Each structure stands twice: as structure tokens, then as C-alpha cells.
Amino acid sequence: MKQSKVNKILALLLTLILTVSLTACGSKETGGESVKSDEKIVNIGMTDTLGSVNPLLMDATEVLKYATSLEFLPLVELNSNLEFEGMLASSITTEDNIHFTVNIDPKATWSDGQPITADDVVYTVLKLASPKLANASMALYAFEGIGDDGFVAEGATEISGVKAIDEKTVEFTTKYQMALTTFQNTYGRYILTLPKHIIKDIPDENLAAYEWFNKPTVVSGPYQITAHDLQHYVSYVANDKYFKGEPKVKKLNIKILTPAQLLTSLQSGEIDFVQQTTGNILQEDYASVEALQNVTVNYGSPVTNQSIFFNTTSVTDARIRQAILYGIDRNTLVSGFLNGKGEVVDGFLSSASPFYDSSLTPTAYDPEKAKELVKAAEADGWDSSKVLNFYVNSGDTTFTQAADFIAAKLLEIGIKVQINTVDLSTLMTKAGSKEFDLLAVQYTYAPVDPYPDVNWLLSEGGWTGFVNENVTAALSETQTTSDVNVIRDKYLTIDTIAQQEVPMISAYVISAMGVVNKRLTNATPNVYGSFINIYEWEVTE
């Protein structure tokens, strides 16, 4: 930061406090590289830290997906109309919900001019399924030739269920029927194809930490990383050979800020764009952001679910889980912490989903009922002196405050919880290892295809460890039909069981704020599709 000598002490303080602050006084930083004030740079504000920028380590976080898919395209992406739009693929089709044909865009090329081929896709899936990388987040167990643990045998050189048919066609074969939307959402959006001709000779055991991913030389997307600090920023330069069109903005940064910094950064113009699922603007700042003259605000559909997951292997008594549901005043959470910009539901589906059924009335706040349930559980041996460890994302300051409110309410009904505030990477580690009793995270269940998330979460291997044969059957039936009414009925069954057995609680569903600076054209923050046309974004000043 440029500061006068008189303000030296203040500058030092600001440096300590605003560790990820951008520069004022006519220039912007790209994470260490200072640039001229007349250079057109776009800064995207995000509030979750990154665990990696390696697509082979893809996890459940939106920040990693978007940060890496700017370089390596997914096969398809969901647009703002909740339609699957081709990115690397020109189409994905199936005739039997078992065999899925992926046609790669004939124009698709790597930034070095080499064509993107079916072999690149097959190679990428093989590496994602490598036991040496041990990435269990991709759920690749659905494909023939991949074990039920999601991995191939060590040293495998092919997968029977993922085959190159010709240079631009890949056929995926699943072990069981799968809806096309599930394939597109689970795999089409998250398999980020890598250049086989560049990294094919790197041993699997070296790929997770391979330095090349920190500054790749060959990409398929509109941008490539030039520098990064996983806690603070990722800097990109345009891929002028992008096959969909040369990006108009030549330099781009993801800036990882605290939610409290977003308002002042938007006001100063140092942040140009905040997308709903990766940038958490404080609810108390909504009115102030709306009043800014230099930005346009766009509220997203209510799809971001502030979910509270139970580890049902530690919180084993369903009555205690039910008591916690009855003991949380969720309507007050929406009115008091969201300023009414949200809704209360039970289960996984919000009103934004075509499969949502409003006949399922959300459980009302009833502390007396909660106390009765606790007493009944105590009579059967539940130890009420037990303190439940409740992990919360430090990047979500709205919910960290709400968690204190929840803890106080639960104490009134005889349930003690210890709030543990950790960063998102640590939270994901706790979730994966089941080292928690309760865990809260903003979870975006794709409205057009909640199946993959629900199927995984409500399973022995999922975060909740909850298994119910009626849920399993209903989920399976969503994959064998395209009838919206039938699918809606099955999800009503699932959400009803979730209401009764409580493996998770929807604390609230957020209609989150997205923001774009008016100097940036062709850019609209949406829950889905915000970055599909990023190569068309343009700075007008």
C-alpha cells in the first residue's frame, strides 16, 4: 500500500489487519505483481480459502471448482437457466442410462495448438481414480472397471467403463442406471480434462504435489494461473488461444478476503465481482452494498443450503437429533441473520428445485417438545453431560454468529455444544474423517439434480453415515425416469424421512447476494453459470 510518511504507523496496522487488501492510489496488485493503473484487471472476491489448485484433488468446494475450471474446462456447466451447457463437450447423450456418449467439441484445442482428444479425457479419469492420489470426492465407483472404493487397481492403465471411441468421442459405462442429469452434474461439471501429452510421464505418486499445476504451461480454458497463495489470491493471465474466443480481460485475480472486507472493497472498486456461492457478503452489509452507486446487485435463487450435518455414528439417538431440530428457531435465523433473504425447509430441496413439494411443512420451533425428547433419550441411557463438538466454517461469519445463537437455544433444552470455528479446508478434513458430532457448511444441492449429493451424504461412507433402505430405494427410482412428478414424489419421501430421522438440518436456505461493478460488462453474478462467458467480460473504463 502506498502511504505517506505521516501515515506510516497506520499503514503498518492496516497491513496487519488487511492481509489480503488490494492497493489504493491508482494501482492494483495481482498477489505480489504490481501493475499499471491503466491496465484493465478484474478482481473476483471470494471468502473461502483454497486447499489446492490441482484439478486432480477436486473436493466438494465451489471455490476449488471455479478456480481450476478457469484453466481446465469441465465437459459441461450449468447456466443461469439451470440448463447444461457444453464447455469442452459439444453434447452428452444416453439411450439406456448406462452408456453415456461424450462428444468433444471439434474446435477444442489446448493452448499449445494440440487438439483436445478423447484420450485426454480417458487419461484424466484414470488419474482421478488412482489410489496413489486417493481422491474419494469424485464418486467414480459408478463406472465399470473402477472399484467400489472409487479407485482402480494400482498400476492400472485403462478403465473398462471409460473408453475412447474415436479422437473426439468417449463412452462412459456405469454399473447401474443413472439419470442423464446426474451424469452431467456429477461428472460432466467436475471432470476437468488435463493435457495427457504434457503430464503423461509423471508417476501417479508425484501428481498430487506436481509443481506444474501451480503455473501450468498448457490449458484448455480462458485463463491460466501465474501465481497463487492459497490463503490469499490466485492470479491469472488470459489464454489468447482459447478456442471459444480470446478473453477481452487480459489479467484476472481471485482475491480471498474476509466477508467483512467485501463491502469496503466493492465500495472502493478494488473488487469487481462477487458470485453467490463463493463470496459470502455479510448479511448486515446487504443494505450498504445495495446503496453503492458503482455496483449492480443480483440476488440468487434460494439454493445455497446452510446445512447442519450429524455424524449419526456419534449422535446415535434420533431423538436427540430431533430435539436439536425442534430446538432451533429457524424463522428467527432467517429474519434476524438473513434479513428475510432466505427460506426454511426440511430436508434437501428448496423452492428453487423442480422437485420441491411444498406439502412437507417445515418443523416448527418447539423447545418444550425438544425437552421431552431429551428426557426420553436420557431415560434410555443418553448422557446429557456429553458436549457435542460442532464445527463451523470461519469464512461464513453470518453463520458463526448464528451458531452461537443456536448453541444458546440448545443449552435451554439440555443439549450442550462446543462451537469450533475452522477454515474451510480444515472443515472438509473433519467432515471426511468424521471427526465431528455436528458440522455446518453451506451446501449447494443442484436443483435439477440433487441425487449425487443426497445419495452420498445419506450413506455409510458419506458425512452423516446415515443409511435408510427407503431412502436408498427412492433415490434409485429417481434414476430410472424422466417424469418430474414421479421424481418429485420420491424426493418427498426422502425429505420426509430426513425430517423424521434428522441426519441433517437445513438451518436456512439463502437467497444470496451477488455483485458486479458497473465498469464490468457482459458479467452477471448468478448461483450457476457466472463464469461460462468470462472470456466475454469487458472493462469499459
Q: What is the set of domains in the chain, with CATH numbers?
A: 19-49+221-298+513-539 (3.40.190.10), 72-207 (3.90.76.10), 304-510 (3.10.105.10)
Question: What is the residue-averaged pLDDT of the chain?
Answer: 91
Which residue has better confidence, 20 or 369? Answer: 369
Tens digits of residue pLDDT in 252-287: 999 999 999 999 999 999 999 999 989 989 888 999
- Rounded mean pLDDT, 378-398: 93
Residue with cell 494400482: 154
Tens of pLDDT, residue by residue over 428-448, are 999 999 999 999 998 888 899
Query: What value does the mean pLDDT take over residues 299-304?
Result: 88
pLDDT greater at residue 60 or residue 9: 60
| Residues 89-109: tens digit of each pLDDT | 999 999 999 999 999 999 999
- Integer Cα distance of 145 and 478 in angstroms: 24
The predicted pLDDT at position 284 comes to 84
**Which residues contact residue 56 at a Cβ distance below 8 angstroms, ignoring those fewer than 6 apart?**
127, 128, 133, 135, 194, 207, 208, 213
pLDDT of residue 143: 98
β-bridge pairing 438-444 and 387-393: parallel
CB contact at 8 A, 300 and 523: no
HSE, CB side, 13 Å, CA atoms: give it for residue 397.
Answer: 14
Q: What is the mean pLDDT of residues 113-137?
A: 96
Residue 39 confidence class, pLDDT cut points 50, 70, 90: confident
In this prediction, residue 2 has a pLDDT band, given cuts at 50, 70 and 90, of very low
Q: How confident is the model at residue 31 (pLDDT cuts 50, 70, 90)?
A: low
Find residue 267's DSSP bridge partners.
none
